[in-house]
Amino acid sequence: AIPLVTARSTSLGASRGLLVKDRYALELTTNADVMVLDKTGTLTTGEFKVLDVELLNDKYTKDEIVALLSGIEGGSSHPIAQSIISYAEQQEIRPVSFDSIDVISGAGVEGQANGHRYQLISQKAYERNLDMDIPKGATLSVLVENDEAIGAVALGDELKPTSKALIQALKKNKIQPIMATGDNEQAAQGTAEILGIDYLANQSPQDKYELVEKLKAEEKKVIMVGDGVNDAPSLALADVGIAVGAGTQVALDSADVILTQSDPGDIESFIELAQKTTRKMK
Ligand code: ADP
Ligand code: MG
Q: Does residue 108 line the site of ligand 1, with CB under 6 A?
A: yes
The residues assigned a catalytic role are 38
56 residue type, one letter: L
Whether the CA torsion 76, 82, 83, 84 is positive or negative: it is positive
Pairwise CA distance, residues 25 & 38, whole Å: 19
> For residue 187, how far is its CA from the centre of ligand 1 (angstroms)?
12
- pTM for this structure? 0.86
> For residue 64, how far is its CA from the centre of ligand 2 (angstroms)?
28
Ligand number, closest to the Cα atom of 79 = 1
Q: Does residue 80 line the site of ligand 1, with CB under 6 A?
A: yes
Q: Does residue 182 line the site of ligand 1, with CB under 6 A?
A: yes
Beta carbons of 107 and 204 less than 8 angstroms apart? yes
CB-based neighbours (< 5 A) of ligand 2, an ion: 38, 40-41, 227-228
Q: Is 140 exposed, middle or buried (0-12, 13-18, 19+ CB in 10 A)?
A: buried
Beta carbons of 160 and 43 less than 8 angstroms apart? yes
Whether the CA torsion 210, 264, 166, 182 is positive or negative: it is positive
Pairwise CA distance, residues 160 & 248, whole Å: 18
Domains of the chain in sequence order:
4-45+159-281 (3.40.50.1000), 50-156 (3.40.1110.10)
pLDDT reported for residue 12: 57
Pocket test for ligand 1, best of 44, 65, 76, 121 (most atoms within 8 A of CB): 121
> For residue 223, how far is its CA from the centre of ligand 1 (angstroms)?
22
Beta carbons of 230 and 211 less than 8 angstroms apart? no
Task: Please choose, from the candidates 253, 224, 266, the residue with its C-alpha nearest in 3D space to the C-alpha of residue 32.
Answer: 224
Per-residue confidence at 5, pLDDT binned at 50, 70, 90?
low
The per-residue pLDDT for range 149-190, each reduced to its tens digit, is 999 999 999 999 999 999 999 999 999 999 999 999 999 999
Beta carbons of 241 and 235 less than 8 angstroms apart? yes
pLDDT reported for residue 23: 84
> For residue 170, how far is its CA from the centre of ligand 1 (angstroms)?
26
**Residue 238: how many CA atoms within 13 Å on its side-chain side?**
33
pLDDT reported for residue 6: 56
Task: Please choose, from the candidates 213, 214, 238, 204, the residue with its C-alpha nearest in 3D space to the C-alpha of residue 224.
Answer: 238
Backbone φ, ψ for residue 64 (5° rounding): -65, -40
Question: What number is the ipTM of this complex?
Answer: 0.95
Q: Does residue 79 line the site of ligand 1, with CB under 6 A?
A: no
